[in-house]
Chains A and B, each alone.
Chain A
Amino acid sequence: MNILVILRAVLDPNGFTVNRRAQKVFVNREQFIINPSDKNALEAALSLTTESDTVVAVALGDAPAEDALRQARAMGAGRALLVRDAALKNADATVVAAALRHLVNHLDETRLVLLGAEVLDADLAQVGPRLAAVLDWPFIEGAHQLEIHGSTVTAIAPQSDGFHKVEADLPAVVSVAPDSNQPRYAPGAKIINVYKDRHAVETHTAAELPLGESGLTSLTERRGESFPPERELGKRPEGSPDELARQVAEVIRKI
């Protein structure tokens, strides 16, 4: 049985600054990290596996994605699959979900797909539910404390009125809440080994999946960036203590 973990490489927020006045993103150092909550998903997968399971790390993209996969191998993932194709450069969530569906079919015996519930950059948090929809698998969002019992997976997930225990039949897609666990560190020797091993990451192209022209058509396109207004000087609301409390409560609620 395979447990698939989807990893996304994102630009390290420490490597760039956003200047709202100049309306520009200044990249000081272009370095990539594994999307933090995907690391939680990987940790959840590694702690769920029994001896008959393999954790398969999956990523789409170029060198940063490959680095993410090597780190995952060093952390303990059994296999790593990279889909690398120039046609995927402007892929949106639809294309990513289509590619992942083909990967899941290609691997067969996949019983669980895990991914992070929050993505720092442009993913828009729709890969999980879209993938679940194309596979017609159940989807659990923002899971804590994943457990597998026989042919079902249980988790604690947030609903509108607090945390609920939810259960889904396998196979399933589960997005793992950020900070729901503490991702393990990769041992240094292992990191060196996976970078030496040329076969640590298996690479596929879109055509091998097979992902045709229609599967590669994005439905959204990027038209640029915009910036929130510059920070203004602080306000000092006036009024009776009760009125003040109401105003502050309003401000807190808006965040």
Chain B
Amino acid sequence: MDMTHISTLMGEAVTAENYADIWVALPALRAAPLLGEARRLADALGCYVHAVIADKDLSQQAIAFGADRVHVAAEAVSFLAGQQPEFVFFPVSQGRQAAQLAQRLHAGLITDARNVSLDDSTRALLGSHPVYGGEYLLDLAITSLAKVATLDPRFLPEPFADPSRAGEVTAAPATDGRPPTAARDLGRVDYAPHPWRPLTKAKVIVSAGRGVKDAEGFALVKQLAASLGAELAGDQSARDSGWVDEAHQVGVTAQEVAPDLYIAIGIRGDTMHNAAIARARQVIAIHSNPDAPIFAVADHGVVASPKEFLPKLLEHLA
């Protein structure tokens, strides 16, 4: 521990005892796994879990998922800034709010934290943050008194709901002082980002091959790409059919790609194609032939006729 930290502890009114408990900002029930995680840490520490919600109807569910006290506050950041939370968890979609709160509490922040745990001797919050698009993770520790983290509910286990749990619901007092200067929302616009990104840099690629049979099948592939916001591509056979041009052909002699997700639809997967997707992080293959070589490189393989399978998939994605 360095000297400045000790002097902060000794000299100021700010003492470690004033900062207490785990606080979870819960904008929607989707973020409920955060409460489960908070409960787990709170049980180890022997402290309370507070949930901060905007919608009063969520309070019973928040208690069932592990909150001891529920605060109903329209503005989570202003409310929390008036409290002295030791740990605050935000869902990863509220990174901006988390950073604002961290700045106001003079707290360290780990965004998109994975494997959250505690350092038993110093009460530091430990977490890993993915870098370079998830190639590896940095292990970080927050050493300030207040500690903020954003967590991705998708990577946390489903929380255990106990409907018989008891808890308190309080309406948060209206915060005095004006809210931080914010941008104004002028309403929704119809906007599609212009794809400056060449295929080689696309994050999600939906790629078609001869297995989609005809223009009708290819239209389904297009629809899937549009619904995922993905780049549309094809293999050699798709180019031969005139569906894609060379800039959108995946292959060693055309484009080598490295997306986060590559969906191969009706692509048999010859050597030239499979080598070109070697750096893709996840590959989903859909082909009617169970012996197609594409299944050897796919993380998830579906043996089905694309024309029958795609409408069902689109239905489930909607």
Contact = CB atoms under 8 A, between A and B. Distances in A.
Interface of A: 13, 18, 20, 25, 92-94, 97, 120-122, 124-126, 128-130, 132-134, 136-141, 144-145, 154, 156, 159-169, 172, 177, 179-182, 213-214, 217-228, 231, 234-237, 241-242, 244-249, 251-255
B33 to A, nearest CB: 13
A219 B143 contact: yes
A248 B313 contact: yes
Interface stretch (B45-53, B106-114, B209-217, B234-242): B106-114
Contacts of A231: 299
A123 to B, nearest CB: 9
Contacts, number: 218
Contacts of A92: 108
Given A129-B103, A214-B4, A164 B188 contact: yes
A174 B104 CA distance: 19
A97 B184 CA distance: 23
Interface in B174-196: 180-191, 193, 195-196
Interface string B274-318: 000000001110100000000111111111100011001101110
B109 A242 contact: no
B144 interface: yes
A218 B140 CA distance: 12
Contact of A222 (B103, B138, B190): B138
B315 A245 contact: yes
Contacts of A125: 95, 99, 111
A241 B132 contact: no
B165 interface: no
B126 interface: yes
A235 B261 contact: no
B228 A252 contact: yes
Q: How large is the interface on B (under 10, 10 to 19, 20 to 34, 35 or more residues)?
A: 35 or more
Interface in B100-122: 100, 102-104, 106-112, 115
Contact of B108 (A133, A220, A228, A247): A220
Contact of A124 (B111, B197, B298): B111
Contact of A219 (B108, B112, B128, B201): B108
Given A94-B108, A121-B132, A124-B110, A245 B299 contact: no
Given A248-B313, A249-B316, A18 B137 contact: no
B135 A133 contact: no
Closest 5 CB pairs of A and B: A219-B108, A129-B99, A249-B316, A245-B312, A168-B183
A162 B188 CA distance: 7
B121 to A, nearest CB: 14
Most chain A CB atoms below 10 A, which of B98, B283, B301, B317: B317
B139 A166 contact: no
Contacts of B303: 236
Nearest to B2: A217
A129 B94 CA distance: 11
